[in-house]
Amino acid sequence: MKIPLVDLKRQYLGIKEEIDEAIASVIADTAFIGGKYVASFEEAFAAFCSAKHCIGVGNGTDAIYIALRALGITRGDEVITVANSFIATSEAIGMTGAKVVFIDCDPQSYNIDVGKLREAITERTKAIVPVHLYGMPANMPLIRQIADRHGIFIVEDAAQAHGAEIHGHRVGSFGHAACFSFFPGKNLGAYGDAGAIVTSDEKLARQCRMIANHGRIQKYDHSFEGVNSRLDALHAAILSVKLKHLEAWTEHRRAIASWYRNRLGSSHCVPPAETEGFRHVYHLYVVRVKNRDAAQAGLHERGIATGIHYPCPLPHLSAYSHLGHATGDFPVAEAFSKEILSLPIYPELTQAEVEYVCSNLEELASS
Ligand SMILES: *Cc1c(COP(=O)(O)O)cnc(C)c1O
């Protein structure tokens, strides 16, 4: 049996007619930039996130950069984020000119260790970018409490967490702004790069929209230099079709996660924790295995693709060598980076395929 890490083709084949029709309409209308397809997706996605406004942008990295810039983050400021994420999170902070301050992750949730947040805050701290890693919401109620006390902005990195919830509240509704990626492999994916910012602050929404569109209020009236980072109408039309299926897909992901959990609980792998009241949307299904590299190689030989998200904590990448971090500064992220293994997960994965992954992993994983 051959099992890829994600299978976008299966998803496309399931919704081919709707997608093909949506693409054909955009082309027939030659409505490529802005216009009704973008506006109607933005409206639907804001509602999906229980936010008032959605601004479509070019990708998820730009979404974080634009939201931070719209909040006034600039050179001389500090922005806190977590050591284990994709580089886009810290890169977007760097793009504003601000200094990124990393803190370790929590061993249960893999998300930012809120207990370490207070000690990382200085008088220069302007914002925190919590990441809802793998689809598991960060502890937003606690983060909000601390951020409010210190007058710090929150920009959620929700690139992996479309539809995740805490006590029935959607991610995207906790911070001053939240940023989503629609990279093809994300839970809601376009057919190329795309992203969005959601917020319920009207002024902030207007500022984001201006930055994303050359700093303009209307055509040829530019009040400052922005960037060109817009959601293409083709992607918007595709995303509108897919958004209608997203809840069902998320429920499938959660069912697959429960098959994995039931099957792997007694083996030498640590399945992801489920926190009461937190709705994990399983963008990735990440287990921990002591002999990770050998297990991964064995799975590969048996046709099972896996991933490592991520093999090196951000502060230890060459890109951040100027921060001068040493081994041991982020003990949890460092230890986990050697044990984590992302198993195949996508809504169309069958129970027989999950069984095949589990029986092989059980054989290969050792304590
Ligand atoms: C994918 C991702 C991003 C960036 O999104 P792009 O659309 O690829 O720019 C940011 N943060 C996290 C955690 C991601 O997984």
How confident is the model over 4-47, as pLDDT tens digits?
A: 999 999 999 999 999 999 999 999 999 999 999 999 999 999 99
Closest CA to 47 of 269, 240, 266, 289: 240
Atom of ligand 1 nearest to the CA of 194: 7
Is pLDDT of 277 > 80?
Answer: yes
At residue 254 the predicted structure's pLDDT band, cuts being 50, 70 and 90, is: very high
User: Which residues does a 6 A CB cutoff place in the pocket of ligand 1?
Assistant: 59-61, 85-86, 88-89, 131, 157, 159-160, 181, 183, 193, 195
Ligand 1 atom, smallest distance to 62 CA:
9
Amino acid type, 219 = K
Average pLDDT rounded to a whole number, residues 54-80: 98
Atom index in ligand 1 nearest the CA of residue 132 equals: 13
134 CA → ligand 1 middle, Å: 11
What share of the chain in percent tops pLDDT 90? Answer: 96
What spacing in Å lies between the alpha carbon of 360 and ligand 1's midpoint?
Answer: 31
Tens digit of each residue's pLDDT (9 = 90 or more) over 131-184? 999 999 999 999 999 999 999 999 999 999 999 999 999 999 999 999 999 999
Distance 344 CA to ligand 1 centre (A): 19
For residue 87, give both structure tokens.
Answer: 């580089």
Q: What is the C-alpha to C-alpha distance for residues 46 and 62, in angstroms, rounded to an integer?
A: 18
What pLDDT, on a 0 to 100 scale, did the predictor assign at position 336? Answer: 97
87-144 per-position pLDDT tens digit? 999 999 999 999 999 999 999 999 999 999 999 999 999 999 999 999 999 999 999 9
Q: How large is the average pLDDT for residues 314-318?
A: 98
Residue among 86, 102, 132, 227 to mutate when testing ligand 1 (max atoms within 8 A of CB):
86
- 187-199 residue pLDDT tens: 999 999 999 999 9
Nearest CA to ligand 1 atom 2: 159
How far apart CA 200 and CA 177 sit, in angstroms, is 8
- With a pLDDT cut of 70, the percent of the chain lying above it is 99
64 CA: nearest ligand 1 atom: 10
Specify the residue with its C-alpha closest to ligand 1, atom 7: 60
Query: How far does the centroid of ligand 1 lie from the alpha carbon of residue 88, in Å?
Result: 6
What is the per-residue pLDDT for 217? 79
Q: What is the mean pLDDT of residues 283-293?
A: 96
Over 90: is that where the pLDDT of 265 sits?
no
Which of 68, 87, 112, 157, when mutated, tests ligand 1's pocket best, judged by the most ligand atoms within 8 Å of its CB? 157
Quick check: 130 and 176 in contact, CB under 8 A?
no
Long-range contacts at 252-257 (CB < 8 A, ≥ 24 apart): 252/347, 252/348, 253/135, 253/187, 253/281, 253/282, 253/283, 253/345, 253/346, 253/347, 254/279, 254/280, 254/281, 254/282, 256/282, 256/285, 256/345, 256/347, 256/349, 256/354, 257/282, 257/285, 257/345
- Which one of 6, 61, 79, 282 would you pick to mutate in the ligand 1 pocket, going by the greatest count of ligand atoms within 8 A of its CB? 61
Atom of ligand 1 nearest to the CA of 181: 7
* Nearest residue (CA) to ligand 1, atom 14: 159
Ligand 1, residue 63: give the atom nearest the CA.
9
pLDDT value for 219: 84
Specify the residue with its C-alpha closest to ligand 1, atom 10: 88
The Cα 315–Cα 156 span in angstroms is 20
Distance (angstroms) between ligand 1 centre and the Cα of 68 equals 15
* Mean pLDDT of the region 208-230: 93
Mean pLDDT of 259-288: 93
Mean pLDDT of the chain: 97
CA distance 111 to 139: 8
CA angle, 156 as apex, 100 and 179 as ends, to 5°? 105
Centre of ligand 1 to C-alpha 100, Å, is: 17
pLDDT of residue 367: 59
Find the 179 Cα to ligand 1 centroid distance in Å.
9
pLDDT band per the 50, 70, 90 thresholds, residue 220: confident
With a cut of 90, say whether residue 268 has pLDDT above it: no
CA of 58 to the centre of ligand 1 (A): 12
Q: Give the Å distance between the CA of 148 and the centre of ligand 1.
A: 26
pLDDT digits (tens, 9 = 90+) for 326-358: 999 999 999 999 999 999 999 999 999 999 999
The span from the CA of 195 to the CA of 229, in Å, is 9
Q: Let me know: does 56 contact 37? Beta carbons within 8 Å.
A: no
Q: How far apart are CA 164 and CA 102, in angstroms?
A: 24
